[in-house]
Amino acid sequence: MKRPVIWLLILLLLLSIVPLGLVTAEAVLPDYYADSYYAELPAMYRRLRETEEPKIVLVGGSNIAFGVDVPLLEALLAQKGYDYRVCPLGLYGAVGTSAMLELARENLNPGDLVILAMEPDPEAMSAYFGATAFWKCAENAPELLFALNESQRSALAGNYLGYLQERWAYFRDGTAPLIQGVYARASFDEHCSMVYERPGNTMALGFDTTAPVDLAAVTVTAGFADQVNAFCDFARDRGASVYLSFSPVNRSALVDPSREAVLEYFDRCCDAFDCQPISDPNRYIYDSGWFYDSNFHLNSAGAVLRTRDLAQDLLSQLGCWEPVDCVVPEMPDSVAQMPTTSGDADCFAFSPVKDSAGRILGYRVAGLTEQGREKTSLTVPSSHQGMPVVGFASDALSGADRLEELTVPGSVEGLPDGLFRETSSLTRLILTHRGRVCDVTEHTFDNASQVRVYVPEESYPLYRDGQGCETNPWEDCLDRLYSY
């Protein structure tokens, strides 16, 4: 069912929201996302729609895709006599939790269970809807478009031209989105369960230092709370039940890992959402060895651990307090690959990056030495005192008014706000990251319009298209990107 019927459905919808000329352009372009990570959302939606037996619907972001072993969860529940089909509905934070709620809404039946497990993240806890990302998910699945609410369809209309321009650019240039590693449709099996082997933690310090998790700062927006509570009322009217669980969180990434801080977050969620909690969020704060490539994504062993814990919480809610029979693998060793660049070590000052227990995990560039301020070209070393250099302080380049070229090693995870505001002579920023991007913020290049960024040729598609499950941080900086 590729062309005639699908394009008729698309045409009927798009004629109501976009000009006919743009619909015609859409129809002649080839598919670009059919093998991408985006394409798994239609598969998840089909599994949900086609399931007639009692089901458990897991609603959240990418923590669901990376953190739940679907066949294992079904088997653990069946051990105790509960036969449910598990339907994961969480793939990509850039789409938004609000879209997942709408996709689930009309597919609930009496006896179904819905588990909400959102990441403690501003986007995940808001009514945010990523229209451009959703267009990519729906490229060959127009049924997704009809499941959305009026506000989301309006957002789709507003973002359609940008989505079409991106596809046209691929067509014009003879290129395609980069599909590699875990971020591909082939990473999932017929159960919509991730089967791509994730052997251990790939992050240099065991957590993403550019995305600390501050539970005290996580708020549930009023609009999102209203949407969730309306969903809960709708589900109850249909005879389904909605429960609250929690996303796994990397302990090392927490700004405040105390039980008190976590319980305050728990209370905030319970106050906002009109559904019964079945989990203690402290239970889902895991050591860094269970994670893969972000503070919410579990490796393969970690997914078994989380699936066991979720099964136990579900069974307790269903009235079974017996422990499940599940062998959890040992926590794997780190698989982070550290690049080695000696760099101009004598030209930089460093400050330690510590965990909550005060242990030094690595270093960030804190500033320049007198020698460094005289240089016109500098290379940041990848390590200091035997530990990785993973970032910069925001004022690390203060006084670097002579600097014309800066080379950054692949160990550096991100560039902070205003890093280049005092580098008026800097024109070449060379990033050596391969297989991943160096993160930036919307203010990294404030007062630095002259800076051109050079990245390895094989990494350029990652900067152009984005990497993983989050919004592409380079989306607004593409005009300064070049490859070497």
H and E: helices and strands count for the chain: 14, 18
Q: Letter for the amino acid at 48?
A: L
Q: How far apart are CA 452 and CA 437, in angstroms?
A: 16
Q: What's the pLDDT score for residue 21?
A: 52
Q: How far apart are CA 109 and CA 98, in angstroms?
A: 20
Strand pairing partners for 114? 57, 242
Tokens of 291: 């994670």
By C-alpha distance, which of 59, 63, 440, 437 is closest to 250?
Answer: 63
| Strand arrangement of the beta sheet that strand 113-117 belongs to | 85-89, 55-60, 113-117, 241-244, 276-277
Q: Letter for the amino acid at 30?
A: P
Q: Letter for the amino acid at 14?
A: L
Q: How far apart are CA 152 and CA 13, in angstroms?
A: 13
pTM exceeds 0.95: no
Using an 8 Å Cβ cutoff, are 295 and 208 in contact?
A: yes
Burial class (CB in 10 A: 0-12, 13-18, 19+), 337: exposed
- To 10 degrees, the CA torsion angle through 263, 296, 72, 181? 180
Q: Letter for the amino acid at 256?
A: D
Q: Tell me the chain's radius of gyration from C-alpha atoms.
A: 23
Q: Are strands 113-117 and 360-368 parallel, antiparallel or unpaired?
A: unpaired
How far is C-alpha 79 from the geometric centre of its chain's CA atoms? Answer: 32
By C-alpha distance, which of 331, 326, 253, 265 is closest to 295?
Answer: 253
Kindly list the structural domains of the chain, giving each domain's residue range(s) and its CATH number in brackets, ordered by start. 4-318 (no CATH), 345-483 (3.40.50.12480)
Angle CA(151)–CA(154)–CA(158) in degrees, nearest 5? 140
Q: How far apart are CA 304 and CA 73, in angstroms?
A: 9
Q: pLDDT of the chain along its 484 residues, tens only?
A: 444 455 445 545 554 555 555 555 566 789 999 999 999 999 999 999 999 999 999 999 999 999 999 999 999 999 999 999 999 999 998 899 999 999 999 999 999 999 999 999 999 999 999 999 999 999 989 999 999 999 999 999 999 988 998 899 899 989 888 888 999 999 999 999 999 999 999 999 999 998 999 999 999 999 999 999 999 999 999 999 999 999 999 999 999 999 999 999 999 999 999 999 999 999 999 999 999 999 999 999 999 999 999 999 999 999 999 999 999 999 999 998 776 778 999 999 999 998 878 889 999 999 999 999 999 999 999 999 999 999 999 999 999 999 999 999 999 999 999 999 999 999 999 999 988 899 999 999 999 999 999 999 988 888 988 776 667 889 899 999 999 9
Q: Letter for the amino acid at 459?
A: S
Tokens of 429: 């920023």
Q: How far apart are CA 228 and CA 98, in angstroms?
A: 8
Using an 8 Å Cβ cutoff, are 328 and 304 in contact?
A: yes
Using an 8 Å Cβ cutoff, are 269 and 219 in contact?
A: no
Distant-in-sequence, close-in-space partners of 20: CB < 8 Å, separation ≥ 6: none
Q: H or E stretch including 306?
A: helix 300-318
Q: What's the pLDDT score for residue 313?
A: 98
Using an 8 Å Cβ cutoff, are 164 and 16 in contact?
A: no
- The DSSP 8-state label assigned to residue 436 in this structure reads S
How many Cβ atoms are within 10 Å of 136's Cβ, its own excluded? 23
Q: How far apart are CA 350 and CA 305, in angstroms?
A: 37
Instruction: Tell me the three-class secondary structure of 345-380, residue by residue.
Output: HHHEEEEEEECCCCCEEEEEEEEECHHHHCCCEEEC
Q: Letter for the amino acid at 130?
A: G
Instruction: Tell me the three-class secondary structure of 229-262, residue by residue.
Output: HHHHHHHHHCCCEEEECCCCEEHHHECCCCHHHH
